[in-house]
Amino acid sequence: MGRLTEAAAAGGGASEARSAGPPPTPLPLSSTSPGCAATMASSEEDGANGGSSEAGEEREAAGKRRRLGLLATTWLTFYNIAMTAGWLVLAIAMVRFYMEKGTHVGLYKSIQKTLKFFQTFALLEIVHCLIGIVPTSVLVVGVQVSSRIFMVWLVTHSIKPIQNEESVVLFLVAWTVTEITRYSFYTFSLLDHLPYFIKWARYNFFIILYPVGVAGELLTIYAALPYVKKTGMFSIRLPNKYNVSFDYYYFLLITMVSYIPLFPQLYFHMLRQRRKVLHGEVIVEKDD
């Protein structure tokens, strides 16, 4: 649950544009592949499909974009400008709070409304995929966006005792810088005027931000475990009329464990895509 997630990440191929990505020829930056788009909210990206299926998906999406034409481009430009501005507002609010208070205690409470609004607003990225104006898998984007929302609403918002943990600041900073970079990248690409620094930042910042975001998410979930175990929140106990049980405590444990196989795979994938985009290397990935 880290969109680890940011996320942010690097990718290659025609399906660079995540749901917010720029048509018609987006550069790729994928932190999550369809096979492993599990729970990492820091993954900021774009699932990339491979080979001929990717090319077919891109051609189909391009056709839909041509039919939608100016309307789609105008909307995506507006969307990405709005999201860039939203995360910039969040960044400024975080800096001002720390400069005035000199502590991170109370930071989350002061910016939570802005964070919840813009992170939830990202659900529109699933719609972008559904209607075909962005050439990315609906499933991949759905998992990425929902994992971020899970981290915001079902962990940090719902478990108030953890809101002042330093780990919350870690993933907030990682997410904020990642999203400002990502959405500004999409905006300038849509406007056909992409500054090199924005491109460079998109394909380099993840090297630090991705591990920082993942660490923040894991430590935050870990800090939530005692409270969840004590209160039994979101858990369903037997017996009940549906004869179903669910333990949120163990669900969080499983979520944390899932980072172990996913993080290295996604991180090294992003490094390969970075070399491909910035240095023009031809990356040949072996089949498993």
- Between 13 and 151, the higher pLDDT residue: 151
Which one is catalytic: 183, 217, 248, 259? 217
User: Residue 62 falls within a domain, yes or no?
Assistant: no
Q: Compute the distance between CA of residue 45 and CA of residue 19 in angstroms, rounded to an integer.
A: 9
pLDDT, residue 135, reads 86
pTM for the model: 0.79
Q: Looking at residue 60, what is its pLDDT?
A: 62
Lowest mean pLDDT, pick from 19-23, 109-113, 213-217: 19-23
Look at residue 9 in the predicted model and tell me its pLDDT: 38
Q: Which of 183, 210, 249, 259 is catalytic?
A: 210
Rounded to an integer, what distance in angstroms lies between the CA atom of residue 76 and that of residue 59? 19
153, part of any domain:
yes
d(C-alpha 215, C-alpha 19), whole Å: 26
Question: Per the domain annotation, does 53 fall within a domain?
Answer: no
Mean pLDDT of 215-222: 97
- Of 69 and 203, more confident: 203
Residue 250 vs residues 103, 168, 179: alpha-carbon distances, Å? 33, 21, 30
Q: Is residue 64 part of a domain?
A: no
210 noted as active-site residue:
yes
Written as one string, the DSSP assignment of 70-101 is: HHHHHHHHHHHHHHHHHHHHHHHHHHHHHHHH
Q: What's the average model confidence in pLDDT over 260-267?
A: 88
Task: Quote the domain boundaries for residue 221.
Answer: 69-279
Instruction: Tell me what pLDDT residue 137 has.
Output: 87
Please indicate whether residue 279 or residue 193 has the higher confidence score (pLDDT). Answer: 193
Q: Please state the domain count of the chain.
A: 1
Residue 165 falls in the annotated catalytic set: no
Structural domain includes residue 11: no
- Omega prior to 22 cis, within 30 of 0: no
In a domain, 54, yes or no: no
**Looking at the domain assignment, is residue 8 inside a domain?**
no
Name the band, by pLDDT with cuts 50, 70 and 90, for residue 266. Answer: confident
- Give 246's strand partners: 236
